[in-house]
Amino acid sequence: MRKLLAATLGILSAVGGFVDVGDLVAASQAGARFGMAHSWVLLLGVVAICAYAEMAGRIAAVTGRAVFDLIRERLGARVALLNLVASYVVTVVTLAAELGGVALAVRLATGVPYLIWVPVAGAAVWLVLWRMRFPVMERVFGLAGLALVVFAVALFWLPTDWAALGHSAVSGGQAGQGWGAYWFVAVALFASTVSPYEVFFFSSGGVEERWGTADLADARFSVLVGFPIGGFLALALIATATVVLRPAGLTVTGLEQVAHPVVLAFGGLGLAIAALAFFAVTFGAALETGLSAAYAAAQYFGWQWGKRVSPREATRFHTVLLVSVLLGVLLLLTAIDPVALTEYMLIISAVALPLTYLPILVVANDRTYLGDRVNGPWLNTLAAALLLVILAASIVAIPLAIGTRMGQ
């Protein structure tokens, strides 16, 4: 019974770590513009995040060291510092986008303009990071995030033409919008599923919870169940957008459109559940991105980090945490549109993907760290193929963004 509970909690953490504002926006946009044509991207992204999170978790359990810690050992001080700067910028922009998502979710529920909620969201996120027992929060937000399942339910409630839906998943294409826009959305959706902060967070969490080799099976189980559940929720978002937004010709400019299908199906109750789910996933992701930014800095410099020690014993870690949340709030207070910010965030995440994933693959094959727990040949083949996809996404992201003027 206790084992079952522990497994459930691990899965909840993984679900909470998977779905965030990037998925909400990218999945809905993909569905509204191209139907189910991007389902394969989501599938590829889930396979990639499962494979690499498993490696990061194994590295954490066997060596007791988190990802960024080893990035510096493998890449050397200088290259790793450039990597740190790039990863930090991407993670803080992601944090800002998540805070924007929190503010938009609260506006959806209250009708009060989102900008007012930005400082409140920032303060609340910081307060949770400062005081709360983190595993508890992670599970609460993971559980509340499961409310996104309302999108899957809406799909059954609405008069969905399942045959057409299935057909557009296998034979969908650029749908008259141009291949440039199709691939732009594909890159954004891929980046939203394999966000680097997910692995920073996952491996640092493993180190903090003092995983050993005995916990490997549990960690693997929560990854292999939790991330696919997250992927299923994202697929439900694409599907409802395909069924509702696309025929109506609606584009996604805010979370209202993302929530529109469940409002159509369930009215005010649907709106409430969707707003709760959006709040939970974005708030949970804001916590994780804030921590990830501070983890990366602390692990590069070797500072004391983590939630197990008091803030006064880890002052540099907590200072970076505080500064990162402040930067996120300031970025939003420039009145930049949070949805546009999310799109930019996904593109720069895509560019930065190899900075995180390449070192993980290298360390996962290093016997001096992992002994006989290095990758097997099958996982290596898969991971190398996925790394090629990651590299391709990274290389084409900027040209696509410029060439299509952010997917127009």
Partner 1 sequence: MSRQLLDRQLVDVQGRLIGKVDDVEFAIDPEGRPYLGTLLTGPGALGLRVGGRLGRMMALAAERFVTDRPMAPLRIPYPLVARIDSAVWLRVRAEELPAPPVEQWLRRHLIDRIPGAGRAGG
Binding interface with partner 1 (CB under 8 A): 63-65, 69, 72-73, 76-78, 80-82, 129-135, 300-305, 307-313, 315-316, 318-319, 322, 369
Closer residue to partner 1 (CB): 220 or 316: 316
Minimum separation from the CB atom of position 10 to partner 1 (A) = 17
Minimum separation from the CB atom of position 105 to partner 1 (A) = 24
**Rg for the chain, CA atoms, rounded:** 20
User: 257: number of CA atoms within 13 Å, CB side?
Assistant: 24
Minimum separation from the CB atom of position 61 to partner 1 (A) = 12
CA distance 41 to 30: 10
Closer residue to partner 1 (CB): 64 or 403: 64
Minimum separation from the CB atom of position 387 to partner 1 (A) = 23
Minimum separation from the CB atom of position 69 to partner 1 (A) = 6
The two structure tokens encoding residue 129:
């990071």
Minimum separation from the CB atom of position 214 to partner 1 (A) = 18
Burial class (CB in 10 A: 0-12, 13-18, 19+), 6: middle
CA distance 292 to 282: 15
Closer residue to partner 1 (CB): 72 or 107: 72
Closer residue to partner 1 (CB): 280 or 298: 298
Closer residue to partner 1 (CB): 136 or 384: 136
Burial class (CB in 10 A: 0-12, 13-18, 19+), 379: middle
Minimum separation from the CB atom of position 283 to partner 1 (A) = 17
Cβ atoms < 10 Å from Cβ of 183 = 20
Closer residue to partner 1 (CB): 40 or 130: 130
Closer residue to partner 1 (CB): 9 or 245: 9
Q: Which long-range CB contacts under 8 A does 113-121 form with residues at least 24 apart?
A: 114/338, 115/332, 115/333, 115/335, 118/329, 118/332, 118/333, 119/329, 119/333, 121/283, 121/286, 121/329
**Sign of the torsion formed by the C-alpha atoms of 144, 146, 152 and 157:** negative
Between the alpha carbon of residue 223 and those of residues 13, 63, 93, the distances in Å are 9, 19, 25
DSSP labels for 224-280? Answer: HHHHHHHHHHHHHHHHHIIIIIHHHT---SSHHHHHHHHHHHHHHHHHHHHHHHHHH
Minimum separation from the CB atom of position 359 to partner 1 (A) = 13
Between the alpha carbon of residue 225 and those of residues 18, 46, 204, 231, 254, the distances in Å are 12, 11, 20, 10, 30
**Which DSSP letter does residue 175 get?**
T
Minimum separation from the CB atom of position 324 to partner 1 (A) = 14
User: Within the chain, what is the greatest distance between any pair of CA atoms?
Assistant: 59
Closer residue to partner 1 (CB): 120 or 322: 322
Closer residue to partner 1 (CB): 309 or 392: 309
Q: What are phi and psi of 176, to 5 degrees?
A: 75, 5
